[in-house]
């Protein structure tokens, strides 16, 4: 990794752009003759400009709206974030989610996103990132490995506490992890974010939400350089969600996983690392990523692990 190119900003805080958050349904209308394959939650800067894109995939049985604060954090630093609702109910097989994400990416290639944005906000489709949380992280890796499924090329991949099933040998189909070191042939930079409490049971009745053997550690071991692995020590698998997540699923997000003391620090941490990764690998500005690596930009959480393959 080369030397910084500019002064670092505080990626763990809200950026300089005000943001808009809008929901787009997957239905044909007179104003939207080519709707997206799935309903979308879009976070975008409000000010004029051309901005890189991030496709963000939600975790297992969660709603994309549960990430609204995280999405706006990223958008405030000058990125357009597109978060599809991949399903409402799903079984163990992730094949449909992989196909749906590919379909959304190919829908973007038609140039129809511009019609959903303010006229002065322009998406830069040549600067595209893919991220996913939990099961969505596994789906993101699976799609990135299937290079012929999308017409657009991803420049970076971000796995946020990715999980590939319940345990080694109990992976959700199709399995992604091969347990062969550096086996992922991705042709892009990768950031893997982990939670220190994800592998810890909340109580004897529930398994850990990110079990050892199928979690962030295993995904990073199979990455090739350039790749990064950063783990928050005392925070859990769902601590990057909104402070308020309503409904049965929202309430259960506080009960199923071992959590930290509050969500806000972990959410700012995840948002900051996502922003630093996108600035480095989409915009060519690695200042903030190096500052995090060298401890010059203090994270809002204590770090358990920080590894770089360069």
Domain that holds residue 234: 19-26+34-309
What is the arithmetic mean of pLDDT over 15-38?
93
* 177 is a domain residue: yes
What's the pTM? 0.96
pLDDT tens track for 95-140: 999 999 999 999 999 999 999 998 899 999 999 999 999 999 999 9
* 2 is a domain residue: no
Confidence of residue 29 (pLDDT cuts 50, 70, 90): confident
Predicted local confidence at residue 9, as pLDDT: 67
Active site residue 237: yes
* 79 is a domain residue: yes
* 67 is a domain residue: yes
Catalytic residue among 237, 242, 253, 277: 237
* 45 is a domain residue: yes
Q: Write the CATH number for 202.
A: 3.40.50.1820
Over 24-82, what HEC string results? ECCCCCCCCCCCCCCCEEEEEECCCEEEEEEEEECCCCCCHHHHHHHHHHHHCCCCEEE
pLDDT tens track for 231-267: 999 999 999 999 999 999 999 999 999 999 999 999 9
* 5 is a domain residue: no
Catalytic residue among 58, 161, 242, 288: 161
Please give the share of the chain, as a percent, with pLDDT higher than 90. 91
> How many domains would you assign to the chain?
1
Q: What is the mean pLDDT of the chain?
A: 94
* 202 is a domain residue: yes
Predicted local confidence at residue 293, as pLDDT: 93
Catalytic residue among 76, 100, 134, 277: 134
pLDDT tens track for 41-50: 999 999 999 9
**For tokens 């595209």, what's the residue?**
128
* Other CB atoms within 10 Å distance of the CB of residue 236: 26
Active site residue 2: no
Active site residue 216: no
């Amino acid at each position: 990794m080369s030397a910084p190119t500019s002064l670092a900003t505080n990626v763990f805080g809200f950026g300089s752009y005000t943001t808009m958050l809008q929901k787009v349904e997957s239905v044909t209308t007179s104003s939207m003759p080519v709707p997206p394959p799935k309903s979308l939650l879009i976070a975008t800067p409000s000010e004029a400009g051309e901005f890189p894109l991030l496709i963000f995939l939600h975790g297992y049985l969660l709603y994309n709206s549960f990430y609204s604060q995280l999405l706006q954090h990223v958008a405030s630093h000058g990125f357009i974030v597109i978060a599809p609702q991949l399903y409402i109910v799903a079984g163990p097989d992730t094949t449909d989610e992989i196909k749906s994400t590919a379909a959304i990416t190919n829908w973007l290639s038609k140039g129809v996103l511009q019609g959903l944005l303010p006229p002065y906000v322009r998406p830069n489709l040549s600067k595209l990132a893919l991220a996913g949380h939990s099961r969505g992280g596994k789906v993101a890796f699976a799609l990135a490995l299937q290079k012929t499924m999308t017409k657009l090329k991803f420049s970076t991949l971000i796995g946020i506490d990715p999980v590939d099933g319940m345990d080694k040998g109990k992976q959700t189909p199709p399995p992604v992890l091969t347990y062969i070191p550096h086996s992922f042939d991705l042709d892009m930079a990768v950031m893997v974010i982990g939670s220190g409490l994800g592998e810890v049971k909340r109580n004897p009745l529930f398994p850990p939400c990110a079990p050892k053997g199928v979690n962030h550690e295993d995904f990073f071991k199979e990455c090739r350089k350039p790749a990064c692995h950063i783990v928050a020590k005392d925070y859990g698998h769902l601590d990057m969600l909104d402070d308020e997540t309503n409904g049965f699923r929202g309430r259960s997000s506080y009960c199923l996983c071992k959590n930290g003391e509050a969500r806000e620090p972990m959410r700012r941490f995840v948002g900051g690392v996502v922003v630093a990764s996108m600035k480095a690998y989409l915009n060519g500005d690695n200042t903030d990523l190096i500052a995090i690596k060298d401890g010059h930009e203090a994270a809002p959480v204590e770090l358990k692990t920080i590894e770089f393959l360069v």
